[in-house]
Each structure stands twice: as structure tokens, then as C-alpha cells.
Amino acid sequence: MSSDGALHAPDDEPPGDGGPLEAAHFIMRALEDLGRLARRHRHEMLVYLIDMTHLETEEILRRGSRRRPSGG
């Protein structure tokens, strides 16, 4: 148990945190929602930045999926 009273996994990730790939999937879903909102309101610079971040997230997921063991 931590000083704030919360239970943490042994590697110090909060309970329910599935690690870097799950975080990247979550971020990608959020970026898709933010991109739609930015496009709807014609915030072109935000659209550009969100699109670039989305590309980076795709690359993180691509690299991460290559590192996962295929044998399960």
C-alpha cells in the first residue's frame, strides 16, 4: 500500500493499468475523438497536431506489437 492508501501492483503501475500498449490504445481513441472535435470547429493547427500525434501513437503500437512474444 502506498502512502496515499492506494494499492499498487508490484511494478508500481496502478491497478488496472495494462501497460504501455494499452495506454497507447487509450490515447489513440482519445485522439480520434479530439480530432473529430477539432475538425468540426475548424481548429486547423489542432487538427494538424492531433494528426501528427496519432501517427506517432500508431508507430508506438506497431513497434510494440513486433516486440510481443507470439507464443503467448
Residue-by-residue DSSP string for 35-53: HHHHHHTT-HHHHHHHHHH
Q: pLDDT value at position 12?
A: 59
Q: pLDDT value at position 51?
A: 98
Tens-digit pLDDT string for the chain (72 aa): 445 454 444 455 566 678 999 999 999 999 999 999 999 999 999 999 999 999 999 999 999 988 766 554
Q: Is the dihedral of CA 16, 22, 24, 27 positive or negative?
A: negative
Domain ranges of the chain: 20-67
Q: Tell me the pTM.
A: 0.68
Q: pLDDT value at position 68?
A: 64
